[in-house]
Structure 1
Amino acid sequence: MNNSRQLAFLALQNIYQQKAYTDIALERVFANFSVSPSNRHLVSELVYGIVRRKRTLDSLINQLATKKATQQPLNLRIILHIGLYQLRYLDKIPESAAVNTSVDLAKENGLSKLSGVVNGILRSYLRLSQKEDPLILPDDFIPRLGVKYSFPDWIVSLFMEQFNLKQTKKLLEWYNQTPSIDLRVNTLKTSRENLQEILLNNDIETTFLPHLPQGLRLTKSAGNITQLDCFKEGLFTIQDGSAQLVAHFLNPQPHETIIDACAAPGGKTTHIAELMEDTGTIIGFDRYSSRLKKVTQNAERLKLTSIKTMEGNVESINWENEVDRVLVDVPCSGLGTLHKNPDIRWHKKPEDIEVLTQLQSQILENSAKWVKNGGVLVYSTCTLNKQENEDIINQFLQNNPSWKLADKNNDSMSNFSIVSKGIVKIFPPVDDMDGFFMAKLIKGD
């Protein structure tokens, strides 16, 4: 099947009805139908974009239709989302094509009697947009931003507590963009320049990521790059630039013993091994053996031999020996990755944060026991939430006076937007990569 909008319709059905995650729903569609690369790109753009913009699209339906979005038959609501998203956000698709294909979708999916409703709502949007933006925003400040940028009010409020209005708007808008794909070159097997040339021979264009010696960024859509021979041969890993920063911040040295406390699926674990030139010992902990298999598989693909894995609850596991460094990349709310993981904005709830912070504190407290005197612990999250970041670190330092924040960061870390003693925070609109928090702690006597 090469009808992009029908495939998007099927994926969105799976997301709205079965509560499937966006990436899983797309994988199912692509596994069941033969899709050309160009259509694959459009299907992904439609599905990810619609999930991101769901609140805005529902608000438009509420204004243009006689029934609220949530009162519409689900299939009709999905078709209206597909049509409105194209009209509002995709400049390269002609307006007539967006309307006509949406009407066709209704007819092809048992909604022939409602095809006129689809046509009428989409044409009303076009007519109104000739004068001004048809989207009517609420008067109250937080809901106004929530509807405009398509976020639940609690996330808008959380960001407003930490950033000023201008920063918050930029952050919300950045999270609605199509994300870049970053690669980490396995410099034990090839150079960044050489991999760039190999990818170019496969019609894949990249650019160097500044301040990341192994980082490349794809400059356009490239299909499923895990099918490339150079991926299967272990020449690179798909990893966002922010996540690459974490291992550099840890600054592992050859022949050390290092624990990655929350290792699966192994992106940071294998990066540590590469930076150590595959010497010493890296031990990857995780509570699920099924997830640790991914660590092993990644290590084998990259031809790394210094990684061992161990199953256990990281917040309580006993480790008798003291090690040089520990990475504690804790489970978190993921509020730094809302462009790549749009489901988070609709699935996560404020009450989830309290449960997470308790777990994060437990993991940090227990992991700190494994570090020798003079050793290093790096705590990191892929979220921009003070409760999960600064508050956790401050509480830990109050409870553990033998620990302190590092006096200085790596020289390369000074290039990022929010840097203080022992702490680096990545702010996406400025640094153009996922939101991340990193704190480097040193154990004293």
Structure 2
Amino acid sequence: MRLGGRLAAAIEVLEDMERRHRPSADALKDWGLSHRFAGAGDRAAIGNIVYDALRRRRSAGWLLGDAAPRAWAFGGLILETGRTAAGINASLDGDRFAPSPLTEAEMAAIAARDLADAPEVVRADVPDWCVPLLETAFGEDWVEEARALAARPPLDMRANTLLATRDKVIGELAGAAPAAIAPDGIRIPPIEGDGRHPNVQVEPAFQKGWFEIQDEGSQIAARLTGAAPGMQVLDLCAGAGGKTLALAAMMDNRGQIFAHDSEKARLAPIFDRLKRAECRNVQVIANSTGLADLEGRMDLVLIDAPCTGSGTWRRRPDAKWRLTERQLDVRIAEQRSILDNAARYVKPGGSIAYVTCSVFPSENQDQVTAFLDRHPGFEAADHAALWAGMFPKHADKTRTGEHGVVLTPLRSGTDGFFFASMRRA
């Protein structure tokens, strides 16, 4: 397929998403199933246009003076790839599968507008209602922080030190290099142009359990928990088990990890992952009744809390535009309940590690402050000292405050994450 056909397909997918209010992954999958003639390269290029359009939806629409999916696709192509409007039109000429070219009015709008002069919310590429939350989180840097959340993401992996070293894994993967902060982290840079990340899950090294796909920020959060061999650990919101596996490696398969999630379906992938990674110190507890015997016994309770996922907007840009204030309120209530429940399992001297993949203070620092007010037997860790002790060469890579550590694409090059540790006296 030429650019015109790919662009037309991307617009079709975006219109389907908008009309049916569905996730991008579902819309792209359905398009691929109904257009089997499209090769893997074409599908990757179409996906790039769709995701770039969603990441840059606000600025792309502003550039063309329109708020329709067609404008997002054309505008995203211009903003992300550096193509000119005239160059795109020339590429569409003579392609019967292409969408209609940019009109004279659109060409004039593009020529007259400089994104540097756009309103802040447009340059940030976020919904209006998110602006106060980002201003509270990042102060005068909020636009730059939000823009970093609209960039293409890298592909991050964690070497499973139970079976392999990081260098050994890197030797098996083309284009891979050590991550900047996480000691076991591996990174393949963001894709450029029409390219795509390799399917690393078909690699023999993956099948042998040598590595897992995991954002570097998630790896850092697992490190900050301080999990060590011999500990008793409860992963209360284990999901598919990404952090569970990271903790098992940190503990060298010694001690015990109890993996639980309130929704059993989320736990389904964990069994194959544990087997492949050869994690032998993990017990999966599907029913909450099975947690009763753990009360007051845990050295560490990890809460990988359900959240808005605002820190993952690079990877899931459609979620940015589907998110509502009501959904945020629901998540905040869930987090509060989970934190209060977690306290019962912590033994004296033990701790809670609270993690989100959000950058909103109402899900992060505010939750920690409120929890400490409700539970005077707990106290916050010295997070500045914790970070300095664990990552002494990366003092400038995080926003560390009294009640937690914040990671962002702009500062740390990771997804957006929050980490807080609270110790029981």
TM-score, reference length from structure 1? 0.83
**Residues 318 and 132 (structure 1 numbering): CA distance in 2 closer, same or farther, change over 3 Å?**
same
Instruction: State the partner residue of 2:178.
Output: 208
**Residues 317 and 188 (structure 1 numbering): CA distance in 2 closer, same or farther, change over 3 Å?**
closer
Task: Choose which of 53, 67, 75 in structure 2 pairs with 1:50.
Answer: 53
Question: Which SS does the other structure have where 1:253 is aligned?
Answer: coil
Residues in 2 aligned to 1:189 and 1:151: alpha-carbon distance in whole angstroms:
42
Residues in 1 aligned to 2:115 and 2:418: alpha-carbon distance in whole angstroms:
38
Report Cα offsets for 1:358-386 as digits up to 9, x if no partner.
Answer: 11011011111101111121011111111
**Residues 189 and 320 (structure 1 numbering): CA distance in 2 closer, same or farther, change over 3 Å?**
closer
**Residues 267 and 104 (structure 1 numbering): CA distance in 2 closer, same or farther, change over 3 Å?**
farther
Report Cα offsets for 1:295-314 as digits up to 9, x if no partner.
Answer: 21221221222222222469
Structure 1 residues 169-178 or 410-419, which shifts more? 410-419
**Residues 25 and 305 (structure 1 numbering): CA distance in 2 closer, same or farther, change over 3 Å?**
farther
Question: Which SS does the other structure have where 2:301 is aligned?
Answer: strand
Residues in 1 aligned to 2:376 and 2:175: alpha-carbon distance in whole angstroms:
50
Asked if 1 retains the 8 angstrom alpha-carbon contact of 2:63 and 2:113, the reply is: no
Residues in 2 aligned to 1:149 and 1:423: alpha-carbon distance in whole angstroms:
24
Question: Which SS does the other structure have where 1:210 is aligned?
Answer: coil
Instruction: State the partner residue of 1:86.
Output: 77
Aligned counterparts, 1:174-323, within 5 A: 174-199=148-173, 204-219=174-189, 220=191, 221-312=196-287, 318-321=292-295, 322-323=297-298
Asked if 2 retains the 8 angstrom alpha-carbon contact of 1:413 and 1:424, the reply is: no
Asked if 2 retains the 8 angstrom alpha-carbon contact of 1:125 and 1:134, the reply is: no
Residues in 2 aligned to 1:151 and 1:157: alpha-carbon distance in whole angstroms:
11
Report Cα offsets for 1:292-344 as digits up to 9, x if no partner.
Answer: 11121221221222222222469x96454411211011101111111111122
CA drift of 1:159 comes to: 0.8
Residues in 1 aligned to 2:361 and 2:403: alpha-carbon distance in whole angstroms:
16
Instruction: State the partner residue of 1:15.
Output: 17
**Residues 317 and 359 (structure 1 numbering): CA distance in 2 closer, same or farther, change over 3 Å?**
farther
Residues in 1 aligned to 2:70 and 2:91: alpha-carbon distance in whole angstroms:
10
Aligned pair 1:418/2:409, yes or no? no
**Residues 357 and 79 (structure 1 numbering): CA distance in 2 closer, same or farther, change over 3 Å?**
closer
Residues in 1 aligned to 2:105 and 2:404: alpha-carbon distance in whole angstroms:
51
Residues in 2 aligned to 1:88 and 1:377: alpha-carbon distance in whole angstroms:
43
**Residues 333 and 300 (structure 1 numbering): CA distance in 2 closer, same or farther, change over 3 Å?**
same
Residues in 1 aligned to 2:268 and 2:225: alpha-carbon distance in whole angstroms:
24
Task: Choose which of 428, 434, 440 in structure 1 pairs with 2:415.
Answer: 434
Structure 2 unmatched ranges of 5 or more: none
Asked if 2 retains the 8 angstrom alpha-carbon contact of 1:255 and 1:279, the reply is: yes
**Residues 14 and 308 (structure 1 numbering): CA distance in 2 closer, same or farther, change over 3 Å?**
farther
Report Cα offsets for 1:13-51 as digits up to 9, x if no partner.
Answer: 432222221233334445663655543442222010111
CA drift of 1:183 comes to: 0.6
Q: Pairwise CA RMSD of aligned residues?
A: 2.8
Residues in 2 aligned to 1:280 and 1:262: alpha-carbon distance in whole angstroms:
19
Asked if 2 retains the 8 angstrom alpha-carbon contact of 1:9 and 1:78, the reply is: yes
Instruction: State the partner residue of 1:370.
Output: 345
**Residues 198 and 102 (structure 1 numbering): CA distance in 2 closer, same or farther, change over 3 Å?**
same
Residues in 1 aligned to 2:180 and 2:33: alpha-carbon distance in whole angstroms:
36
The AA in structure 2 aligned to 1:427 is: T
CA drift of 1:353 comes to: 1.9
TM-score, reference length from structure 2? 0.87
The AA in structure 2 aligned to 1:24 is: D
Question: Which SS does the other structure have where 1:270 is aligned?
Answer: helix
Structure 1 residues 147-156 or 18-27, which shifts more? 18-27
**Residues 336 and 81 (structure 1 numbering): CA distance in 2 closer, same or farther, change over 3 Å?**
closer
Question: Which SS does the other structure have where 2:219 is aligned?
Answer: helix
CA drift of 1:169 comes to: 1.6
Question: Which SS does the other structure have where 1:336 is aligned?
Answer: helix
**Residues 98 and 223 (structure 1 numbering): CA distance in 2 closer, same or farther, change over 3 Å?**
farther
CA drift of 1:52 comes to: 1.8
Aligned pair 1:404/2:415, yes or no? no
Report Cα offsets for 1:221-277 as digits up to 9, x if no partner.
Answer: 433222222212211111111100121111111122211010011110111111111
Instruction: State the partner residue of 1:26.
Output: 28
Task: Choose which of 337, 358, 361 in structure 1 pairs with 2:336.
Answer: 361
Report how many residues are paired. Answer: 410
Question: Which SS does the other structure have where 1:164 is aligned?
Answer: helix
CA drift of 1:218 comes to: 0.2
Report Cα offsets for 1:130-155 as digits up to 9, x if no partner.
Answer: 45538984xxxxxx222333211111
Question: Which SS does the other structure have where 2:172 is aligned?
Answer: helix
Structure 1 residues 249-258 or 81-90, which shifts more? 81-90
Asked if 2 retains the 8 angstrom alpha-carbon contact of 1:259 and 1:327, the reply is: yes
Structure 1 unmatched ranges of 5 or more: 70-76, 110-114, 138-143
Question: Which SS does the other structure have where 1:119 is aligned?
Answer: coil
CA drift of 1:211 comes to: 2.9
Report Cα offsets for 1:56-103 as digits up to 9, x if no partner.
Answer: 333445x3xxxx64xxxxxxx444433333234322x56456225667
Instruction: State the partner residue of 1:72.
Output: none
